[in-house]
């Protein structure tokens, strides 16, 4: 009887937890569902039909988006891929080096540097946009690709995560063995440390990629040429045109739908690294 009584509260907690997870998933996925349905509607149907009632104009909206200013939208997509891909890759490599150094090396001022990085994690990126603009303006680099790329190369949160991953996944004995074999610090880092931190660095890369992909304020301040715009700033311009041209609203919704496809594809492509790591952890346990 006692076993049955103890099993019931556990089942109740399990049902409650499952319900909360389903509600959270619905909260996150409902906007995606709305974008998918809204992108299938014409400009006249967008505000005159039931919100969750799909239509048949998705292909027409895609063609209209492609025709806008001779395919300017795809230029925005390419710019966004450049900003997010290069920025996330460089940021991940810098985070790996900094996190490894903070985790495995002793040097004067180490605690101060780490506390400074933690302080950087707490500072919203929006607050840094204006100072970064003033610095890059003095260097004559505003309204260029570098104006968006350079600020994305350093991620305090990425360095913080890389330090945790390095401390947890890189045994000091392996580093000592590598040095005994005659490997220098750089070779040890590239041949030994990076492979061992791979799963953690994939997480850092994904976080930084999504952050740069969705960034709006920094490129909005830095860029004046619409041919340099990322997706976020470009769609904002189309949205502003919607007040005078209601047809632009369908372009904005369709463009938003297309813009999330690369993020979904990236997540699915990198998911296998987490699955492999979890499986390996289970075997070791």
Radius of gyration of the chain from Cα atoms?
24
Predicted pLDDT of residue 95: 94
Question: Per-residue pLDDT for 7 more than 80?
Answer: no
Among all chains, which residue has been given the structure tokens 């030994």?
Answer: 192
Nearest CA-CA partner of 204 in 176, 165, 177:
165
pLDDT(89) > 70: yes
State the residue for tokens 């997540």: 267
When pLDDT is averaged across residues 152-170 and rounded to a whole number, the result is: 91
Checking if the pLDDT of 19 tops 80, the result is yes
231 vs 6, more confident? 231
Q: Which residues contact 255 (CB under 8 A, 6 or more apart)?
A: 65, 73, 231, 234, 235, 238
Average pLDDT, the chain: 85
With a cut of 80, say whether residue 76 has pLDDT above it: yes
Lowest-pLDDT range, 38-52, 75-89, 262-276?
262-276
- Helix ranges (DSSP H) in 105-171: 110-122, 125-138, 145-152, 156-169
**pLDDT at 12 (0 to 100):** 62
Task: Kindly report, residue by residue over 215-258, the tens digit of the pLDDT.
Answer: 999 999 999 888 999 999 999 988 888 767 777 888 899 999 99
> pTM of the prediction?
0.86
pLDDT at 58 over 80: yes
Comparing CA positions, the residue from 113, 207, 123 lying closest to residue 165 is 207
Give the model confidence (pLDDT) of 101-126 as tens digits.
999 988 888 889 989 988 888 888 78
Question: How many Å apart are CA 146 and CA 129, to the nearest integer?
Answer: 14
Angle at 211 between CA 260 and CA 99, to 5 degrees: 135
d(CA 134, CA 169): 40
Helices and strands of the chain, counted as H and E runs? 15, 0
Out of 47-61, 73-87, 109-123, 172-186, give the one with best mean pLDDT: 73-87
């Amino acid at each position: 009887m006692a076993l049955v009584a103890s099993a019931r509260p556990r089942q109740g907690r399990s049902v409650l937890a499952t319900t909360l997870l389903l509600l959270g998933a619905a909260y996150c996925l409902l906007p995606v569902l709305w974008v998918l349905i809204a992108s299938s509607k014409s400009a006249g149907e967008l505000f005159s039909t039931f919100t969750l009632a799909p239509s048949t104009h998705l292909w027409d909206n895609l063609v209209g988006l492609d025709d806008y200013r001779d395919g300017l939208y795809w230029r925005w997509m390419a710019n966004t891929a450049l900003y997010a891909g290069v920025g996330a890759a460089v940021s991940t490599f810098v985070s790996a080096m900094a996190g490894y150094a903070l985790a495995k090396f002793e040097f004067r001022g180490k605690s101060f540097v780490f506390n400074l990085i933690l302080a950087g994690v707490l500072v919203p990126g929006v607050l840094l946009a204006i100072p970064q603009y003033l610095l890059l303006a003095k260097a004559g680099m505003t309204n260029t690709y570098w104006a968006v790329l350079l600020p994305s190369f350093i991620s305090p949160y990425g360095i913080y995560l890389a330090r945790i991953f390095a401390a947890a996944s890189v045994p000091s004995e392996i580093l000592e063995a590598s040095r005994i074999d005659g490997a220098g610090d750089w070779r040890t880092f590239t041949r030994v440390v990076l492979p061992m931190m791979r799963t953690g660095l994939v997480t850092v890369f994904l976080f930084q990629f999504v952050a740069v992909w969705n960034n709006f304020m920094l490129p909005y301040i830095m860029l004046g040429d619409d041919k340099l715009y990322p997706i976020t700033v470009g769609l904002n311009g189309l949205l502003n045109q919607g007040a005078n041209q209601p047809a632009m609203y369908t372009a904005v919704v369709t463009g938003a739908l297309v813009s999330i496809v690369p993020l979904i594809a990236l997540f699915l492509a990198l998911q296998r690294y987490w699955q492999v790591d979890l499986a390996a952890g289970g075997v070791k346990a």
